[in-house]
């Protein structure tokens, strides 16, 4: 197996060891490798890429975490330039079209159109009596977009500098992050129906309006407002192209490489210990394993710092999910499948419905998300002619699966399989109600649960979005690149926010903190040779 971990790697020392090969870890590795650093990326799973990896069943293939990315369709946008720099221009993107999201609530259809003015005008068409509130809302969203870069740039700073000027870099963002989405929308006098529609993408960050920080809501809306895009060749193209660049710059990515803990001596990270007892040494260590995993698991209890764990552990993991992966024996064109995503809601009472769901064991998710990866990927039919794929997701708290957590993957017993069948049939029913033409075309339908996510991602509660995006999360000063252990750094979505783009920028932030260089200029000045 290519890139399989070997104890031979202990015979070298490294400038940087990176734990985890998600987008944050790989982005950090690319920046450091291009700067001439000797980089080793260690991945526990048997495939690299974190939530950018894909899996196969028979002739079908599905992504597990990348459903669309914003801003990369704009050639002069920083997001696009960054991905071009990281992949040496080899990562290509397919535009999802004029509509990138559609929500269906109580049978009514609402489309999210590409382009700020297009979207504003579309919402005014739906709610003509609420034009003032709609325009005020989109103005606030734009303001968040103008302020979050400064806020997250502050996270490259050492603690002493943050204490002196950091507040001035954070305060404008705090005006949005410390209010919930519901608070802000109610202050604009939005109706209940308008709030439900404007919050239809809340599944992208896993919290209802009453619970979520308005900052995360605004950042997600702003990220996609100029359209959605999908990596040509599928989600795995992202990690494949980044790994090519890492290896071209003499970096190493090793899979089935289970890190037991970070070696810290005299408050200084000097390497990692593997689950088989191997020890690897480096000048710096970067954890892309998530903040909870890093401070609670990868650092030995005898040297853990209460200042790192007390407030962090008050922030819960984001909600876990279930998902069906559907393979069909007809093409997207034959089945008239869209490129845009579909958000299904039981009703307009998002908060009440989600609250009831979370406290009612085994209740079906009131929010479902349908994605069409094969329709989004222009290369799909070349590789898989006459077929198509769909995913349907819903929330499902981890504790409802806890009784089976000690079982082995695919061997958790009859009761677990029975529960899976119930969930699968519920999600499949929602899909067929929305797209009845699929009824006789389904060749395969497989369900993943929070235990599947835990098994493959190593997140304790099967979460996919890291820490909950509440107002309290954005107050945590420790969610930054540099930790209070010398030479130990964090990267990944927990130090920015959820999403592929945010994880990528976390790698930039971490690399700036390590190298103490203005890497942003390298990205901005990068010229893609067509």
User: Are 375 and 404 contained in the same domain?
Assistant: yes
Asked if residue 375 is part of any domain, the answer here is: yes
Give 478-519 as a DSSP string.
T-SSB-SSBTEEE-SGGGS-SSHHHHHHHHHHHHHHHH-S-H
DSSP-assigned letter for residue 164: I
Asked if residue 176 is part of any domain, the answer here is: yes
Q: Which residues does the chain have with pLDDT short of 50?
A: none
Place of tokens 């290896």: 247
User: Are 301 and 184 contained in the same domain?
Assistant: no
User: Are 162 and 196 contained in the same domain?
Assistant: yes
Asked if residue 87 is part of any domain, the answer here is: yes
Please report the pLDDT score of residue 147 as a whole number: 85
Please report the pLDDT score of residue 169 as a whole number: 87
Domain end call among 166, 187, 222: 222
Asked if residue 467 is part of any domain, the answer here is: no
Where are any strands of DSSP class E within 98-234? 99-105, 108-113, 228-231
Please report the pLDDT score of residue 287 as a whole number: 98
Q: Quick check: 497 and 525 in contact, CB under 8 A? A: no
Q: Quick check: 287 and 25 in contact, CB under 8 A? A: no
Nearest one of 505, 486, 474 to 180, comparing CA atoms: 474
Domain that holds residue 353: 316-457
Helix axes 23-34, 78-87, angle to 10 degrees: 70
User: Are 142 and 196 contained in the same domain?
Assistant: yes
User: Are 188 and 239 contained in the same domain?
Assistant: no
- Cα torsion 374, 504, 223, 477: sign: positive
User: Are 12 and 33 contained in the same domain?
Assistant: yes
User: Are 513 and 405 contained in the same domain?
Assistant: no
Asked if residue 409 is part of any domain, the answer here is: yes
Please report the pLDDT score of residue 1 as a whole number: 56
Q: Tell me the C-alpha distance between 385 and 378, whole Å.
A: 12
Q: Tell me the C-alpha distance between 194 and 214, whole Å.
A: 16
**Residue 196: partners with Cβ closer than 8 Å, 6 or more residues away:** 105, 345, 348, 349, 350
User: Are 341 and 451 contained in the same domain?
Assistant: yes
User: Are 177 and 294 contained in the same domain?
Assistant: no
Domain end call among 457, 485, 508: 457
CATH number at residue 46: 3.50.50.60
User: Are 360 and 269 contained in the same domain?
Assistant: no
User: Are 343 and 362 contained in the same domain?
Assistant: yes
User: Are 201 and 259 contained in the same domain?
Assistant: no
Domain end call among 204, 222, 240: 222
User: What would the pLDDT profile of 480-516 be if each residue is shown by its tens digit?
Assistant: 999 999 999 999 999 999 999 999 999 999 999 999 9
Task: Report the number of distinct structural domains present in the chain.
Answer: 3
User: What would the pLDDT profile of 342-399 be if each residue is shown by its tens digit?
Assistant: 999 999 999 999 999 999 999 999 999 999 999 999 999 999 999 999 999 999 999 9
**What six digits make up the tokens of 475?**
């107050």
Asked if residue 521 is part of any domain, the answer here is: yes
């Amino acid at each position: 197996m290519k890139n399989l971990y070997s104890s031979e790697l202990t015979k070298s020392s490294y400038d940087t060891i990176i734990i985890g090969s998600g987008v944050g870890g790989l982005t950090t590795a690319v920046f450091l490798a291009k700067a001439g650093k000797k980089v080793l990326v260690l991945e526990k799973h048997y495939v690299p890429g974190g939530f950018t990896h894909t899996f196969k069943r028979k002739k079908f293939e599905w992504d597990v975490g990348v459903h669309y990315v914003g801003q990369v369709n704009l050639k002069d946008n920083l997001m696009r330039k960054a991905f071009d720099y990281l992949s040496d221009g080899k990562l290509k993107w397919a535009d999802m079209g004029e509509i990138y999201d559609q929500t269906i609530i109580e049978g009514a259809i609402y489309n999210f159109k590409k382009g700020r003015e297009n979207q504003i005008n579309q919402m005014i068409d739906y709610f003509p009596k609420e034009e003032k509130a709609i325009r005020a809302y989109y103005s606030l969203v734009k303001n968040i977009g103008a302020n979050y870069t400064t806020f997250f740039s502050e996270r490259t700073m050492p603690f002493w500098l943050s204490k002196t000027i950091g507040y001035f870099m954070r305060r404008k963002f705090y005006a949005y992050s410390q209010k919930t989405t519901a608070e802000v929308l109610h202050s604009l006098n939005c109706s209940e129906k308008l709030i439900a529609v404007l919050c239809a993408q809340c599944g992208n960050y896993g919290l209802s309006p009453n619970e979520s920080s308005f900052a995360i809501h605004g950042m997600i809306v702003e990220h996609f407002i100029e359209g959605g895009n999908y990596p040509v060749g599928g989600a795995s193209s992202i990690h494949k192209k980044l790994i090519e660049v890492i290896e071209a710059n003499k970096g190493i990515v090793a899979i089935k490489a289970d890190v037991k803990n970070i070696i810290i001596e005299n408050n200084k990270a000097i390497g990692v210990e593997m689950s088989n007892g191997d020890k690897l040494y480096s000048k710096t260590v970067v954890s892309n394993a998530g903040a909870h995993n890093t401070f609670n698991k990868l650092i030995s209890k005898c040297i853990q710092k209460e200042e790192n764990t007390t407030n962090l552990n008050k922030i819960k993991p984001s909600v876990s999910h279930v998902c069906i992966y559907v393979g069909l024996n007809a093409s997207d064109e034959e089945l008239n499948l869209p490129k845009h995503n579909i958000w299904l809601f039981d009703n307009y009472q998002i908060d009440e419905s989600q609250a009831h769901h979370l406290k009612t064991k085994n209740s079906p998710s009131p929010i479902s998300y349908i994605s069409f990866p094969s329709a989004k990927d222009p290369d799909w039919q070349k590789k898989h002619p006459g077929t198509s794929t769909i995913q349907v997701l819903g929330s499902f708290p981890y504790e409802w699966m806890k009784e089976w957590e000690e079982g082995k993957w695919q061997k958790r017993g009859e009761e677990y399989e029975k529960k899976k069948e119930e969930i699968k049939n519920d999600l499949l029913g929602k899909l067929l109600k929305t797209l009845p033409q699929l009824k006789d075309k389904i060749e395969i339908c497989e369900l993943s649960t929070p235990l599947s996510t835990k098994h493959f991602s190593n997140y304790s509660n099967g979460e996919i979005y890291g820490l909950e995006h509440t107002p309290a999360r954005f107050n945590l000063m420790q969610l930054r690149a540099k930790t209070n252990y010398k030479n130990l750094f964090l990267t990944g979505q927990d130090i920015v926010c959820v999403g592929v783009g945010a994880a990528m920028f976390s790698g930039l932030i971490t690399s700036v903190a390590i190298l103490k260089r203005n890497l942003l200029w390298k990205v901005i000045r990068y010229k893609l040779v067509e």
